[in-house]
């Protein structure tokens, strides 16, 4: 039984509950591009899948970049003129600008304001802001709250450390029959944000769980890394081996109720690009294909010109295009169990396609073979044929060693699964052999 | 005078009458993939064009297939409980499932029913069914009649023979100046069905008649063959020579009142595909271009991956898409004289194009030659030019030895005929030479 | 500062006034494909830009053509039965069919009529007609006037000379750092017609004026030539050097209020074709791209198959498509100062693009370079990026030595100027080097 057929035997609702549940566990942790929040996150993933954790020391050169200091935070708040905590990191880790340097100071409201970030257009939401590579501090709060602040002396405390330490990332490698790899990458550096971060982490973790222990054609490598610097660090340490990556996918923003978006790799016509297009065309939700651009998630690094890897980015709603993006409204309610489950199903369908996408040679290339005497045709002539026989004819006609099953699925406009089933049957009947690669 | 100009001097109505008349002669014959009905059909064609008849013995291996037993039928009927013939092959040869094995038996209505075929959606029509490769017998009747049958004992008689004999097909070869061939293929195995069978036979016969005896660039080969097994047999016997086929066309369902459909060859961009598209674009009836698929008529065999010949399929209504298809309603009324005549005209236009499609070299490639002093331009400057001069400029500009006249017609959006006339004139004026091939 | 930025510092209104003013000076002159009208026109251009005037003797063979006799005209008229001048070349030089042979004769109205040209559909306008290569004479007048002519004896006088002399053309060469050339060609052979002739002359003259004395990558060659025979003559005399022409543009009908039209070169995808498309897409007026055809202006000769130069034709309204074309209504009112100025701006933008269109190599091709520490990125993370940073990321991502800045502008859908500014900045920061060509 194929990977997808097997997956479809479980109820999507159950899968959604499991996916959302794991995200709920991860939600409260204050992740950043380094530090203990990231380590705790990886530890929870390791409870589910075999995961190696790599620690790279501060100061390590990675291409044009340097691994930054490690950031950890114990507490952070703003106290109002009356001495009460009015903005409190303990209540919501988005309140603190991520990577804020330690500070303990008293200041007027006016002085304070240059360190405050709000969203006037969605005045109830807290923005998410970072300051990784410029030492600074700041707080984020709802615009409504900002408007209530009165003149007076405010006391500010960021009890953080920004010190030599390590950048941490997790790597799950599932060996297959070939050392050719499929790379699944997701960022794990955002604090309490659900769709932008946890959706990818949860779907990737469960995909690895689903694949682990199976007999697979490709090897699979799952990366759980801090955005940008994590991908750069990984690429820097694995430069010699990236040639093994035959297909790759960045997974992010994959849990909201919007339709799918797939941003193509820099190559634009890589097998992964065509495979995702095919899978999305043959599922039920709306979808859109997006051209590559050099802004976005870690496909920026995988698709930098020196690497130019066949890595695309699978999303539902596109970062920046939904109002909840990078705000406190990107929470566990915004992310839907069923959306997560259907995203996981798309990933499984994609793996199923890539695992089975081969070129065959028709052993009877001159005229059609007589399918009827092999019980592969309908017996009474004069009526039409159905999708099953149509798929067999397509596979036979295009199996000249040049066309992959995906090529055949695209040209016939039949779903890959129908083409694969036909190819399996014809192969079992000795009508096809696998083409030399 | 060109082939098409000459054709256009005859009234279409007269051509239509002739085409429909020949189909009317052929209609009553009970054709099948072997047997005397097919032989009688070929004999009638041979009265009009030079035709070689080939007999291939039962049991001959043809690629993955074997030439089947020869089928002939003298009589077949069902008698009702009152002993009267209620379904009678003598009245309509569609009543008998084609290739039915002999049977003489008595049975209940229930037993009989598993051998009966009807069309509940069009209850007045008799379906057409076959059972070539699985020995069986059956009868086709209108659904209305089926509903009137009462319980009782029925007697069934199929007085047929299914014995070692031959598969017969006809081949008309018209030699041209070159041994490069144009193949026209149509199936001749359907009994009393008009559009699906006789339209192609009649148009192909008359096209051969029109071309016979002319001085032609290409050689022409017309095949009148049983569907599938006939094409396979012919290809098997002529495998070494198919490389001569430069362009090919399967003709079928070409007599109904619907617009044209052309199904492209497997290559998709063969000269025949572009030529048909051009001809159809520049005639008056609606048309549609269809992508290749491996289901349909004998293009299935010509376009199998080992051959991959440049053979498309020209139709009016597409098999299976009109309700009369494979029923008794596909009769002589459904097929229109004028539709047949216009189909023949399209074939002549296509031959005209292929015969004249050449690449030329402009002998004055640097700047335009001075057409005015050769009387090939208008004399008073300042006004526009018409299609005639435009065609000359296009031919001169693109005759660099790389572009065929069809390329030029396509790029200029002018009809091929205008381009050909311009090329002839420029050639006569010494401004062009034929490009080395 | 770039060429376009500098141009944009002058008011368009002032440029328009200057462009229209020069056309006004040129308007009354009776130009033709040879003769003193053409010489006077070139003399006025030479007052503004360095211009070499070339005189080619009558009878010189130029490819398939021969330089014709030189035509000059002192006076021409028709006198009515009452002896009064009713059609007078002195009042409007369009009245005389251009290149009319001398004649002094008396004739009836009927005899005269075969030499008269009018426009019944626009009965107030005088048509423009020529008879270069067939010796003849004729007069053009308004259709309304023709209707008033009464029977009687008319006296006709064309005091012209058609004698051995010269064909004259002007050439302005601006040497650049490379001998690779950009060709700008416009015809200078039409008498008092504004849009069709003077618009191109004026814009080309002012473009040359704008570029003269600058340090430029390309050399620029401006041709002011009689249509057809002038281009053929120039190509005949410069055949050995046309390989230097990297990009070329025929400028004509560039002063009316219509939107832009660009007719592509015969190649269809030359850099000039893509560059013009890009420039037109990123300006404010409507525009349309037209496929090449071998009828039109001198691109006919530059794009003849032996040369096949990358030369397109930039117009506003297309010749023949506006009613004023080749009539007395194509006058100084029809041509608008602002239209001329905006056309000149498009030319400057095009030169700016071609001058700066290079391929670069990203010096940090593995992952993105850290723009932040070079002050080339925004400092607070979590928000979007603007066009400036987007342009930098695009340039870095595609600068693999294969993609030109125009390629990058097209793929990113950003204006070339934004891409060029980004490339300059990255180059100054050592992040790019120019790719070897």
* CA distance, residue B302 to nearest chain A CA (Å): 7
Lookup result for tokens 């004249």: B356
Return the percent helix, strand and coil in chain B, to nearest 5: 35, 25, 40
**Are C283 and C349 within 8 A, CB to CB?**
yes
**Are C398 and A305 within 8 A, CB to CB?**
yes
Q: Which of chain A's residues have a Cβ under 8 Å away from the Cβ of B229?
A: none
3-state SS of B284-322 is CCCEEEECCCCCCCCHHHHCCCCCCCCEEEEECCCCCCC
Chain B residue with minimum CA distance to C136? B380
- Strand, coil or helix: what is C34? coil
Confidence band, pLDDT 50/70/90 cuts, at residue B384: low
Could you tell me which chains touch chain C, where touching means 3 or more CB pairs under 8 A? Answer: A, B
DSSP B96: B
**Sheet arrangement for strand C432-434:** C400-404, C359-362, C432-434
**Are A293 and A318 within 8 A, CB to CB?**
no
Distance CA C28, CA C357 (A): 41
Task: Taking the CA atoms of B198, B203, B209 and B214 in sequence, report the sign of the dihedral they define.
Answer: negative
Distance CA A264, CA A286 (A): 17
pLDDT at B378 over 90: no
For chain A, percent of residues with pLDDT exceeding 90: 94
Mean pLDDT to the nearest integer, A160-175: 97
* Helical ranges in A27-66 per DSSP H: 36-46
The CA–CA distances, whole Å, from C80 to B212, C89, C107, C126, C151 equal: 68, 15, 10, 18, 9
Distance CA C123, CA C128 (A): 14
Mean pLDDT to the nearest integer, C366-385: 82
Chain C residue with minimum CA distance to A326? C382
> Which residue from C236, C256, C224 is spatially nearest to C41, judged by alpha carbons?
C224
> Within 10 A of A175 (CB to CB), how many other CB atoms are there?
12
**Are A420 and A413 within 8 A, CB to CB?**
no
Identify the pLDDT of residue A134.
85
| DSSP symbols for A74-97 | EEEEEE-TTS-EEEETTT-GGGBP
Of B362, B393, B399, which has the smallest distance from its Cβ to C295's Cβ?
Answer: B393
**Are B195 and B330 within 8 A, CB to CB?**
yes
- Strand, coil or helix: what is C355? helix
- The H or E element spanning position B76 is strand B70-79
In the structure encoding, which two tokens stand for residue A425, read together? 């049957």
Question: Which residues are registered as beta bridge partners of A263?
Answer: A290, A313
> Within 10 A of C23 (CB to CB), how many other CB atoms are there?
24
Distance CA A292, CA A304 (A): 11
Distance CA C328, CA C142 (A): 9
Q: Which of chain C's residues have a Cβ under 8 Å away from the Cβ of B413?
A: none
Distance CA C290, CA C293 (A): 9
pLDDT at C384 over 70: no
Distance CA A139, CA A130 (A): 10
Q: Which of chain A's residues have a Cβ under 8 Å away from the Cβ of C391?
A: none
Residue B207 CB burial class (10 angstroms; 0-12, 13-18, ≥19): buried
Q: Which of chain A's residues have a Cβ under 8 Å away from the Cβ of C397?
A: 266, 294, 300, 303-305
Measured at the alpha carbon of residue B99, what is the angle toward residues B98 and B105, in degrees to the nearest 5?
A: 95
> Which residue from B30, B98, B29, B33 is spatially nearest to B233, judged by alpha carbons?
B33
- The full length of chain B comes to 437
Chain A residue with minimum CA distance to B117? A380
Confidence band, pLDDT 50/70/90 cuts, at residue C133: confident
DSSP C164: S
Distance CA B251, CA B199 (A): 8
| DSSP symbols for C190-256 | -SS-IIIIIHHHHHHHHHHHHHTTS--SSEEEEEEE-TTHHHHHHHHHTGGGGGGEEEEEEE-S-SS
* CA distance, residue B382 to nearest chain C CA (Å): 5
Say what the alpha-carbon torsion angle B273, B277, B278, B284 is, to the nearest 10 degrees: 150
Q: Which of chain B's residues have a Cβ under 8 Å away from the Cβ of C65?
A: 367, 370
Question: Which residues are registered as beta bridge partners of B262?
Answer: B289, B314
Chain B residue with minimum CA distance to C238? B366
- Strand, coil or helix: what is B136? coil
DSSP A122: S
For A177-225, how does the pLDDT look when each residue is reduced to its tens digit (9 = 90+)? Answer: 999 999 999 999 999 999 998 999 999 999 999 999 999 999 999 999 9
pLDDT at A383 over 70: no
Chain B residue with minimum CA distance to A414? B293
The CA–CA distances, whole Å, from B161 to B165, B166, B234 equal: 10, 13, 25
As a whole number of angstroms, the longest Cα–Cα distance in chain A is: 92
DSSP B435: P
Identify the pLDDT of residue B328.
97
Confidence band, pLDDT 50/70/90 cuts, at residue A384: low
pLDDT at B379 over 70: no
B304, B325, B327: best to mutate for the A interface, most A CBs within 10 A: B304
Mean pLDDT to the nearest integer, C361-375: 95
Based on DSSP, count helices (H) and strands (E) in chain C, helices before strands.
Answer: 13, 19
Q: Which of chain B's residues have a Cβ under 8 Å away from the Cβ of C127?
A: 382
Identify the pLDDT of residue A184.
98
Residue A248 CB burial class (10 angstroms; 0-12, 13-18, ≥19): buried
Identify the pLDDT of residue A385.
72
Of C372, C381, C385, which has the smallest distance from its Cβ to A129's Cβ?
Answer: C381
Confidence band, pLDDT 50/70/90 cuts, at residue A10: confident
C266:B397 CB<8 A: yes
Confidence band, pLDDT 50/70/90 cuts, at residue C2: confident
For C271-312, how does the pLDDT look when each residue is reduced to its tens digit (9 = 90+)? Answer: 999 999 999 999 999 999 999 999 999 999 999 999 999 999
Can you give the C-alpha Rg of chain B in angstroms?
25
Task: Round the average pLDDT of chain B to a whole number and report it.
Answer: 96
Identify the pLDDT of residue A377.
87
- Strand, coil or helix: what is B92? coil
Q: Which of chain B's residues have a Cβ under 8 Å away from the Cβ of C328?
A: none
pLDDT at C106 over 80: yes
Confidence band, pLDDT 50/70/90 cuts, at residue A378: confident
Confidence band, pLDDT 50/70/90 cuts, at residue C111: very high
Of A64, A97, A294, which has the smallest distance from its Cβ to C369's Cβ?
Answer: A64
Question: Which residues are registered as beta bridge partners of A78?
Answer: A87, A156
Distance CA A33, CA C265 (A): 53
C267 Cβ contact partners less than 8 Å away, ≥ 6 residues apart: C273, C308, C310
The CA–CA distances, whole Å, from A418 to A393, B292, C273 equal: 12, 19, 45
- Strand, coil or helix: what is B77? strand
In the structure encoding, which two tokens stand for residue A82, read together? 């009356």
Distance CA C424, CA C418 (A): 10
Distance CA A139, CA A126 (A): 10
A382, A396, A401: best to mutate for the B interface, most B CBs within 10 A: A382
| Lowest mean pLDDT segment, chosen from A248-252, A308-312, A381-385, C22-26 | A381-385
> Within 10 A of B240 (CB to CB), how many other CB atoms are there?
7
Question: Which residues are registered as beta bridge partners of A117?
Answer: A140
A365, A366, A430: best to mutate for the B interface, most B CBs within 10 A: A366
Task: Taking the CA atoms of C221, C224, C225 and C227 in sequence, report the sign of the dihedral they define.
Answer: positive
Question: Which residues are registered as beta bridge partners of C312?
Answer: C249
B130:A380 CB<8 A: yes
Of A366, A369, A390, which has the smallest distance from its Cβ to B295's Cβ?
Answer: A390
In the structure encoding, which two tokens stand for residue A405, read together? 């099953």
């Amino acid at each position: 039984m194929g990977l997808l057929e097997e997956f479809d035997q479980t109820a999507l609702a159950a899968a959604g509950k499991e996916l959302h549940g794991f995200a709920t566990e991860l939600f409260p942790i204050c992740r950043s591009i380094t530090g203990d929040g990231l380590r705790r996150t990886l530890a929870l993933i390791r409870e589910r899948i075999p995961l190696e954790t790599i620690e790279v020391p501060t100061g390590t050169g990675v291409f044009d970049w340097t691994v930054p200091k490690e950031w950890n935070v114990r507490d952070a708040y703003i106290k109002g003129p009356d001495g009460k905590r009015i903005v409190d990191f303990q209540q919501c880790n988005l309140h603190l600008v991520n990577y804020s340097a330690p500070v303990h100071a008293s200041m007027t409201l006016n002085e304070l304001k240059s360190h405050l970030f709000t969203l006037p257009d969605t005045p109830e939401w807290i923005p998410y802001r970072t300051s990784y590579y410029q030492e600074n501090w700041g707080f984020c709060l709802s615009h409504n709250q900002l408007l209530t602040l009165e003149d007076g002396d405010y006391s500010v405390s960021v009890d953080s450390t920004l010190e030599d330490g390590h950048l941490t990332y997790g790597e799950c490698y599932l060996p297959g029959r070939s050392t050719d790899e499929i790379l699944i990458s997701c960022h794990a550096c955002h604090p309490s944000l659900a769709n932008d971060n946890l959706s990818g982490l949860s779907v990737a973790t469960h995909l690895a769980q689903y694949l682990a222990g199976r007999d697979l054609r490709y090897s699979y490598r799952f990366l759980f890394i801090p955005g940008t610097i994590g991908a750069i660090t990984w690429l820097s340490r694995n430069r010699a081996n990236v040639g093994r990556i035959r297909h790759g996918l960045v997974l992010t923003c994959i849990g909201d109720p919007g339709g799918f978006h797939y941003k193509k790799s820099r190559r634009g016509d890589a097998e992964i690009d065509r495979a995702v297009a095919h899978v999305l065309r043959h599922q039920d939700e709306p979808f859109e294909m997006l051209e590559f651009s050099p802004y976005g998630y870690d496909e920026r690094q995988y698709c930098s010109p020196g690497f130019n890897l066949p890595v695309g980015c699978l999303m539902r709603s596109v970062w920046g295009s939904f109002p909840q993006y990078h705000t406190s409204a990107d929470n566990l309610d915004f992310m839907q169990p069923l959306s997560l489950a259907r995203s996981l199903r798309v990933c499984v369908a994609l793996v199923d396609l890539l695992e089975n996408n081969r070129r065959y040679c028709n052993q009877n290339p001159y005229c059609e073979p007589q399918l009827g005497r092999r019980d592969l045709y309908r017996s009474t002539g004069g009526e039409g044929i159905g999708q099953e026989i149509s798929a067999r004819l397509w596979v036979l006609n295009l199996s000249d060693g040049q066309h992959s099953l995906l090529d055949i699925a695209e040209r016939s406009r039949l779903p890959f699964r129908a083409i694969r089933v036909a190819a399996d049957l014809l192969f079992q009947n000795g009508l096809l052999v696998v083409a030399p690669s």
